Amino acid sequence: MAEKQVKVGLVGFGTVGCGVAKLILEDVDSIAAKTGLRLELACVVDTDTKSPRPVKLPNGILTNDINRLLNDDTIQIGVELVGGTDAAKQVQLKMLEAGKDVVTANKALLAEYGSELYKAAHKNNRCIAFEGSCAGGIPIISAIRTGLAANNITAMYGIVNGTCNHILSEMTSKDEDFAEALTQAQDKGYAEADPTLDISGEDSAHKLAILASIAFGYEIKLDDIFVEGIEAISKGDIRYGGEMGYILKLLAIGQKDKDNRVSLRVHPSFIARDNPLARVDGPFNAISVFGSAVGQVMYYGRGAGMMPTASAVVADIIDVALGNSATTFRHLHLKPRNEIESLIEKIGNCISRFYIRVMCKDQAGVVARWSKILGDHQISISGALQHEGIGPDNTVPVVIITHPTQQKNITAALEELEKLDVLSGKPVCIRIVDIPEDKD
Amino acid sequence: MAEKQVKVGLVGFGTVGCGVAKLILEDVDSIAAKTGLRLELACVVDTDTKSPRPVKLPNGILTNDINRLLNDDTIQIGVELVGGTDAAKQVQLKMLEAGKDVVTANKALLAEYGSELYKAAHKNNRCIAFEGSCAGGIPIISAIRTGLAANNITAMYGIVNGTCNHILSEMTSKDEDFAEALTQAQDKGYAEADPTLDISGEDSAHKLAILASIAFGYEIKLDDIFVEGIEAISKGDIRYGGEMGYILKLLAIGQKDKDNRVSLRVHPSFIARDNPLARVDGPFNAISVFGSAVGQVMYYGRGAGMMPTASAVVADIIDVALGNSATTFRHLHLKPRNEIESLIEKIGNCISRFYIRVMCKDQAGVVARWSKILGDHQISISGALQHEGIGPDNTVPVVIITHPTQQKNITAALEELEKLDVLSGKPVCIRIVDIPEDKD
């Protein structure tokens, strides 16, 4: 069968850009054999054309002039790997207007301006493919959009930030402090010098916004997502939770109830030790998706890195060139804000079980006083843990697990607990996430 | 956007057939909203038109006459869920000749006659979609063919038979005998009255044949696959293996080396306890795939059952109707037998570590005699386990773990061990599978 020549222009020649260039250049023959497509890297655009990179481009294709890409009508696909939101958005819009289909791995941009960009693509009769934007090498977007197309997706629980998962895994297995685990993650290259975007949970929220949009068909905004990071997690709480049968993970959670109300949140979560997600360690990502027909499915793999993300980007390039992406993208219609705004659940209404740790002063009647506050807020206790012995500051940690209760009850109770003179410091509160069991 | 009407004919109204009918009938609106396709179940063909089923069909569409499907030119897609090989093959061929695209979940048929059917489809300019044939609801076929298209797939390790996995999980967690666990699996509906196809490993081999064909691009025959079932597994060996850090799974393994030589096998396998596959319990399936760019990815979900498999079948119907399957199928070219026959590794050449258990009589010099046999065959010991105390028959179990060695050395050594008068009964030999670690 005759091969089809496909010219690709790449904007952004950083880590992932290098991986994409490498795959296109080195695997051109095997991709042609598998797909009938002969990919050609027509130009690579970057403001920095001087720094050495780990991939050697053919002479003359590296340029700092994006017009070479935009004005070349033989280039069918533009790959945006600039990162960030402002410049990248302009690059995508220009490429769409110039008649290129767009492939991107830019999660921050899609989380913030996805709806706007999708509309621009529809208007120009082009498509945007973004498999690389969530969970790197794991083909989760195509799984949700095509593999599970016959399902009503009711929930997803994802470990979608490898930095946080690495840090929490190390804190758990080595009983390390957060600061210690972060420094080591930075030394190993698993965390950035400025790790804020990862450890604050914001990066996970970007991915959740994209995944929830396509899974639930809603125009999700970042503001719809409650976000809490892992900065305040102590190794003691990981250890106490472990004694009670839980493993701590930073989860991105999207749930849709039978009335189509959607709850979206990113926060540290204690999950049962025997849940498959509890066993996802180190820099790996995994996403459990619940579908009405399929039950629970889970996808596991590397969530970041040069070649895993490049693998997803090149898969998208192939899918776009075959015409499959256009078909799928044509039917990406997100319910607009005015229809869904009332369907986004406020965090205060979320029902959850909670892990609460207080530091009790060594006095008689302490338990009675703080447990009364819980009772006053209709919070019922399902488990407790207190080791014998008093700490150096004459306090003792007491952990309780609550029955399911609304977040707002807990918030109100915590405010009162914080003021209680028989407790020392702020109480610690971590949500326990009961991932449904798909067993019979 | 105008909806596209898609008429579907279904052959085989058993468990999965009922699930597919149910999904098409009940989810027609949500599928239309997501995909722009309005699916219509035009006819359902089965020899049994009388028995009650858990789904109510529209009047007049159930028939025992396949010609109603074949002669109706408005039916674009034929779904074959007959099962078995002979009749089903004729059904698929007739549907292809009548100009229908084919969707099937028939693993036995594709494992045996896949190449022939794919050729018939190419000849008729039609496609065959078969996501439901392997691992039920897990979209593994599309993951390999599109999500990982930019990768050279070097290995896959799959738990692809839920019956065997359920039995082995129960034997492991409850210290049950095989016979006991099998009976309970039958009582719970996880095993057939005649469980041979599952417990012999044959069903896993069917799935491996299909998966390895598309992952490696070879025309694989069932005979290329070495198969050993779980019938002879004893709870004692699961326990001893557990003490040494291993979990027993029935794995379907496909590996390709740098010279494109392929090793294909299904057998009970001890795997390291901390491997993600070791934690796949009960009736679940999971497949780890290693790609040159992506590293390790794993897909987890229900491998069988009415709705999970129906979910995959309907996803295929959608993909065929959108035209995506045709594009992908057009490039499914398997290297023919004459090119690949010499690339199929014989089991004797396979290198593995081995778990060997012998029952030693309580005499002096026993260890020296049987360990000499291992040494004579260049088999080196890396670990051993012998508990104190003598069994009721005056023998004691001794377990050893070997360093990597060729299967043929082990086979020769086992033959000699079996004849040794200081050992009682046949030695037990189980392969230890070292799934590569994707860690840094």
Q: Where are the alpha helices (DSSP H) in B217-280?
A: 235-243
| Contact call for residues A212 and A253 (beta carbons, < 8 A) | no
B425 pLDDT above the threshold of 70: yes
Q: Is B308–A327 a contact, with Cβ atoms under 8 angstroms apart?
A: no
| Contact call for residues B386 and B399 (beta carbons, < 8 A) | yes
pLDDT of residue B240: 97
- The chain B residue lying nearest A319, using CA atoms, is B146
The three-state DSSP-derived secondary structure of A136-204 is CCCCHHHHHHHHCCCCCEEEEEEECCHHHHHHHHHHHHHCCCHHHHHHHHHHHCCCCCCCHHHHCCHHH
pLDDT of residue A394: 85
**The listed CATH number (3.60.150.10, 3.30.70.260, 3.30.565.10, 3.40.50.10580) that belongs to domain B348-432:** 3.30.70.260
Catalytic residue ranges of B: 207
Cross-chain CB nearest to A311 (options B30, B36, B294): B294
How many residue pairs from chains A and B have C-beta atoms closer than 8 A? 191
B305 pLDDT above the threshold of 60: yes
pLDDT of residue B407: 96
Model pTM?
A: 0.93
- The chain A residue lying nearest B303, using CA atoms, is A294
The candidate with the shortest Cα–Cα distance to B438, out of B245, B297, B301, B285, is B297
Does the active-site annotation cover A119?
no
Residue B221's φ and ψ, nearest 5 degrees, are -105, 155
pLDDT of residue B316: 96
Rounded Cα distance between A210 and A53, Å, is 30
Q: Give the pLDDT confidence of A62-91 residue by residue, as tens digits.
A: 999 999 999 999 999 999 999 999 999 999
B39 strand-pairing partners: B6
| Contact call for residues A370 and A423 (beta carbons, < 8 A) | yes
A104 strand-pairing partners: A80
- For the stretch A138-173, what's the b/e string if a residue is b when 16 or more beta carbons lie within 10 angstroms of its beta carbon? bbbbbbbbbbbbbbbbbbbbbbbbbbbbbbbbbbbe
Structure confidence at residue B439 as a pLDDT band (50, 70, 90): low
Cross-chain CB nearest to A152 (options B30, B217, B291): B30
Contacts of A319 in chain B (CB under 8 A): 146, 149
pLDDT of residue B102: 98
Closest-CA distance of chain A to residue B115, Å = 16
pLDDT of residue B331: 85
Q: How far is CA B115 from the centre of its chain?
A: 18
B364 pLDDT above the threshold of 90: no
Structure confidence at residue A439 as a pLDDT band (50, 70, 90): low
Q: Give kind and range of the element (H or E) at residue B419.
A: helix B407-419
Long-range contacts of A64-68 (CB under 8 A, 24+ apart): A66/A11, A66/A91, A66/A94, A68/A9, A68/A43
Contacts of A297 in chain B (CB under 8 A): 137-139, 299-302
Write out the two tokens for B147: 């999500």
- Report the share of chain B in percent with pLDDT over 90: 85
Cross-chain CB nearest to B297 (options A151, A276, A300): A300
Write out the two tokens for B138: 């897990």
Q: Is B297–A299 a contact, with Cβ atoms under 8 angstroms apart?
A: yes
A298 pLDDT above the threshold of 70: yes
Rounded Cα distance between B280 and A375, Å, is 40
Structure confidence at residue B292 as a pLDDT band (50, 70, 90): very high
Please state the rounded mean pLDDT for residues A284-297.
Answer: 94
Rounded Cα distance between B50 and B43, Å, is 15
Q: Is A299–B299 a contact, with Cβ atoms under 8 angstroms apart?
A: yes
B334 pLDDT above the threshold of 70: yes
**The listed CATH number (3.40.50.720, 2.60.210.10, 3.20.10.10, 3.30.70.1230) that belongs to domain A4-133:** 3.40.50.720
Closest-CA distance of chain B to residue A358, Å = 34
Q: Is A148–B139 a contact, with Cβ atoms under 8 angstroms apart?
A: yes
Q: Where are the alpha helices (DSSP H) in A218-262?
A: 235-243
Q: Where are the domains of chain A?
A: 4-133, 140-303, 349-432
| Contact call for residues B250 and B269 (beta carbons, < 8 A) | yes
Average pLDDT, whole number, for chain B?
Answer: 94
Rounded Cα distance between A307 and B428, Å, is 42
Catalytic entry in A7, A94, A107, A207? A207
B411 pLDDT above the threshold of 70: yes
pLDDT of residue B303: 85
What is the value of ipTM here, to two decimals? 0.91
Q: Is A318–B149 a contact, with Cβ atoms under 8 angstroms apart?
A: yes
pLDDT of residue B117: 97
pLDDT of residue B440: 54
Q: Give the pLDDT confidence of B159-168 residue by residue, as tens digits.
A: 999 999 999 9
Q: Which CATH architecture group holds B140-303?
A: 2-Layer Sandwich (3.30)
- The chain A residue lying nearest B19, using CA atoms, is A293
Q: Which CATH architecture group holds A349-432?
A: 2-Layer Sandwich (3.30)
pLDDT of residue A440: 54
Residue A432, classed as helix, strand or coil, is strand
Contacts of A318 in chain B (CB under 8 A): 146, 149-150
Q: Is B318–A294 a contact, with Cβ atoms under 8 angstroms apart?
A: no
Write out the two tokens for B174: 């409850």
pLDDT of residue A1: 60
User: Which residue type sits at A327?
Assistant: T
Q: Is B300–A276 a contact, with Cβ atoms under 8 angstroms apart?
A: yes
A437 pLDDT above the threshold of 80: no
Structure confidence at residue B189 as a pLDDT band (50, 70, 90): confident
Rounded Cα distance between A295 and A150, Å, is 12
Rounded Cα distance between B160 and B135, Å, is 6
Contacts of B325 in chain A (CB under 8 A): none
From residue A387, give the alpha-carbon distance in Å to each of A428, B34, B366.
17, 54, 52
Write out the two tokens for B1: 């956007």
Residue B282, classed as helix, strand or coil, is coil
Q: At what angle do helices B15-26 and B306-322 cross, to 10 degrees?
A: 60
Closest-CA distance of chain B to residue A113, Å = 21
| Contact call for residues B44 and B17 (beta carbons, < 8 A) | yes
| Contact call for residues B83 and B15 (beta carbons, < 8 A) | no
Please state the rounded mean pLDDT for residues A168-181.
Answer: 97
Please state the rounded mean pLDDT for residues B119-124.
Answer: 96
